[in-house]
Amino acid sequence: MSRALTFYEFFAGGGMARLGLGAGWRCLFANDFDPVKAQTYRANFEDAADHFHQGDVWALSPADLPGAPDLAWASSPCQDFSLAGARAGLTGGRSSAFFGFWRLMEGLEREGRAPRAIVIENVSGLLTSHGGRDFEALCEALAALGYRFGALEIDAAGFLPQSRPRVFVIAARAAPPAGLAGPSGYHTRAVREAHGRLPEALQARWVWWALEAPPARNTDLATLLEPDAPWHPPAKTAALLDLMAPMHRARVEAARSRPDHAVGAVFRRMRIEHGQRVQRAEVRFDGLAGCLRTPRGGSSRQTLLIAGGGQVRSRLLTAREAARLMGLPDSYALPGGLHAGLHVAGDGVAVPVVRWLAAHILEPLLRAPAALAAE
């Protein structure tokens, strides 16, 4: 039996990357700054006391990180990923969370313990922020430590009934074995354009990771709903409908006239209309939830709309439903309270996407004969 692959999980949240990697992996170290997420991680992993560290990544040193991992996974905060404007963090001072992580990778490199592979997961805007300079800075950092790298843009909608596009930058010390490099539907236009903006020296280290799409999913939003969640009073539903522009209101009326029931997902957004900022409610009935977010107020919480048989009802998405939309099992212990549960679920990585990457790229890459011979 082959040994378990080892990993670090930075910005671990509730441990969703760990769950996606699965039983064939062993966590050597995990960290998160957020106390609610840290509590949730500890509640779900019995061995958390052995390896989980709650605190700022900038307070860590390589001495806090045990062993030489096969993989370092980093889902750094999306609002903090400004690399091009944060290079002072490499030499001192407070900078982005990513550079707090990267400082540790550089320290491990000096000690001969750098991970054989790194995955950096973030929002799709990473590819274009600051005109592509942030992404170029990331690639420069990876190249400076001897990594080859490439990016995939994966929407969790291929795996779960949630629209959640994310970028996964996969970096490896060794050249990919045959079959891991080639065409992929996840080489989106944004990925290709990001690659095209890189200097030739960085393009020379690029890997077009080959990743096929999963089988068609057999679930939609309606299949994940809890049956006994409380509904809004009719007046609140009416107020929500009043926030809809004509196109979205027409969608609701079409669903209301159906003999069966349609489940829609609603977000409230600010739109510019006739030069004025206007709050609008926007609905989709395509079987997908919108991208989950961390709840910073009522407008960021996703609302469900069920229409049919001449009626329309609405309610908030529950924390358990949000967890299901991230691929978490019902046995996963959520923190108490709607806000805390949505906070953990909405700021995580979709578990089945991690599993797909692990099965089709990370495990074949790290278990390849050439990679094992280099250990």
Q: Indicate the pLDDT class of residue 80, thresholds 50, 70 and 90.
A: low
Q: Into how many domains does the chain fold?
A: 2
Phi, psi of 159 (to 5 degrees): -120, -30
Nearest to 127, CA basis, from 118, 119, 139: 139
For 190-247, write each residue's pLDDT tens digit. 999 999 999 999 999 999 999 999 999 999 999 999 999 999 999 999 999 999 999 9
Q: Indicate the pLDDT class of residue 102, thresholds 50, 70 and 90.
A: very high
Of 274, 300, 317, which residue is a domain's last? 317
Based on C-alpha coordinates, what's the Rg of the chain? 22
**pLDDT > 60? residue 375:** no
Q: Indicate the pLDDT class of residue 300, thresholds 50, 70 and 90.
A: low
Instruction: Please check whether residue 325 lies inside any domain of the structure.
Output: no
Q: Determine contact, residues 285/248, Cβ cutoff 8 Å.
A: no
Q: Which two tokens stand for residue 223?
A: 């299949």
Give the pairing type, strands 117-123 and 148-155: unpaired
pLDDT for res 95: 43
Q: Indicate the pLDDT class of residue 97, thresholds 50, 70 and 90.
A: confident
Helix (H/G/I), strand (E/B), else coil: 320 = helix
Percent of the chain with pLDDT over 90: 80
pTM for the whole structure: 0.92
**pLDDT > 90? residue 77:** no
**pLDDT > 70? residue 47:** yes
Q: What is the mean pLDDT of residues 327-340?
A: 95
Q: What is the mean pLDDT of residues 265-273?
A: 89
Instruction: Please check whether residue 334 lies inside any domain of the structure.
Output: no
Instruction: Please check whether residue 324 lies inside any domain of the structure.
Output: no
For 17-29, write each residue's pLDDT tens digit. 999 999 999 999 9
Phi, psi of 102 (to 5 degrees): -70, -30
The tokens 């790229």 sit on which residue? 361
Q: What is the mean pLDDT of residues 89-114?
A: 77
Same domain, 34 and 135: yes
Same domain, 173 and 199: yes
Same domain, 178 and 303: no
Of 297, 317, 337, which residue is a domain's last? 317
Q: Which two tokens stand for residue 126?
A: 């990473």
Give me the chain's average pLDDT, please. Answer: 91
Same domain, 149 and 261: no
pLDDT for res 2: 77
For 121-146, write each residue's pLDDT tens digit. 998 988 988 888 889 989 999 999 99
Instruction: Please check whether residue 150 lies inside any domain of the structure.
Output: yes
Same domain, 155 and 68: yes
**pLDDT > 70? residue 338:** yes
Same domain, 261 and 127: no
**pLDDT > 90? residue 369:** no
Q: Indicate the pLDDT class of residue 1, thresholds 50, 70 and 90.
A: low
Q: Which two tokens stand for residue 3?
A: 């040994």
* 3-class SS string, 64-130: HCCCCCCEEEECCCHHHCCCCCCHHHHCCCCCCHHHHHHHHHHHHHHCCCCCCEEEEEEEHHHHCHH
Instruction: Please check whether residue 329 lies inside any domain of the structure.
Output: no
Measured distance CA(328)–CA(15) in Å, rounded: 10
Instruction: Please check whether residue 342 lies inside any domain of the structure.
Output: no
Give me the amino acid identity at 361. I
pLDDT for res 268: 86
The domain spanning residue 361 has which CATH number? 3.40.50.150
**pLDDT > 60? residue 88:** no
Same domain, 270 and 189: no
Residue 59 DSSP symbol: G
Same domain, 132 and 153: yes
Instruction: Please check whether residue 327 lies inside any domain of the structure.
Output: no
Same domain, 115 and 209: yes
Same domain, 212 and 239: no
pLDDT for res 134: 85
Residues in the chain: 375
Q: What is the DSSP string of 266-313?
A: EEEEEEEETTEEEEEEEEE-SS-BPPP---SSGGGS-EEEEEETTEEE
Measured distance CA(198)–CA(86) in Å, rounded: 19
Helix (H/G/I), strand (E/B), else coil: 229 = coil
Same domain, 130 and 276: no
Instruction: Please check whether residue 23 lies inside any domain of the structure.
Output: yes
Same domain, 254 and 190: no
30 beta partners: 9, 52
Of 302, 317, 332, which residue is a domain's last? 317
Measured distance CA(268)–CA(54) in Å, rounded: 34
Domain extent at residue 155: 5-217+347-373
Q: Determine contact, residues 368/361, Cβ cutoff 8 Å.
A: no
Q: What is the mean pLDDT of residues 311-339?
A: 95
Residues assigned a catalytic role: 78
The tokens 């692959």 sit on which residue? 5
Q: What is the mean pLDDT of residues 259-269?
A: 92
